[in-house]
A = this chain, B = another copy of it.
Amino acid sequence: MSFRERIREVLEERETNLILALDVYGESPSEILNRCIDLLRKTQRFICAVKINLQVLLPLGLFDGIRGLIKEAKNYGLPLIMDLKLNDVGHTNLQVSTYIFEAGFDALIANPFVGWEGGLKPVFEKARSMGRGVILLVYMSHPGAVEGYGQIVRDPEDGRAYPQYMVFARKALRWRADGVIVGATRPEKIVDVKKILRDEVPIYSPGIGPQGGDPIKAMTSGASYLIVGRTITQSSKPTDEAKKLRDLIRPYIT
């Protein structure tokens, strides 16, 4: 079963499209691991996947603590996404994505800015050969994203000017990406990207809560999955918060 099928299956089973972003801090690797495992246990019924960033991977270690966390998520039947925002040269990308997939991650996030030849091509090939997924950044959620993702570029295909994120969305189609990231802070961009991707490539949307994105607006604009971090991880009642969000969004899942 492909990554796309796996995550969709969990979405349908649990009637939730929430992906928990484990952006967790702590004084020591063991404190971080324990907080992650505790959050997973408390929220697993209301989420369909887990996303991990470098701020958790680096202290836990790919060959150490992270393996325990991956095992825990798998026990709950949850796919894991490694949010590396990979953007290196091919031989490094290949080695890094091999490590990530062999550790048990089901998908990774990469930056299409790095290009295909000697860039992301080996990552897609490795993912295909292992039944894993590649999700591409199309428009990030922070204010400064406008400088890169929002800039106007000349598309070499037809020589005309387009916003960068529209060029990225077309690349996601062409490269047959398993998903794209578009921030919930810019719902009008989700609408634009959805017009290009239709139902070919699902949209993953981060940036609700502290960053200011509205989850329902993101859904009605075309998002398939919502990525939620601090709203849940920094709540004193993560279970209640996850359930509340799941219930709020459930009617909008398509």
Chain A: residues with CB nearer than 8 A to chain B? 23, 25, 29, 53-55, 57-59, 61-64, 83-85, 87-92, 95-96, 99-100, 111-121, 140-148, 151-154, 156, 161, 164, 211
Contacts and interface: CB of A to CB of B under 8 A. Distances in A.
A213 B54 CA distance: 31
A45 to B, nearest CB: 27
A64 B62 contact: no
B95 A111 contact: no
Nearest to A148: B113
A95 B156 contact: no
Given A54-B92, A87-B111, 10 more contacts: A53-B88, A58-B62, A58-B96, A58-B99, A61-B62, A112-B148, A113-B148, A116-B147, A117-B142, A153-B153
A115 B144 contact: yes
A57 B115 CA distance: 23
Given A23-B92, A87-B87, A145 B62 contact: no
15 contacts: A29-B63, A53-B88, A53-B92, A54-B92, A85-B87, A85-B88, A87-B111, A90-B142, A115-B143, A116-B144, A116-B147, A151-B154, A151-B156, A152-B154, A153-B154
Nearest 5 pairs between A and B by C-beta?
A: A115-B144, A118-B142, A115-B147, A61-B61, A119-B144
A143 B154 CA distance: 19
A28 B130 CA distance: 21
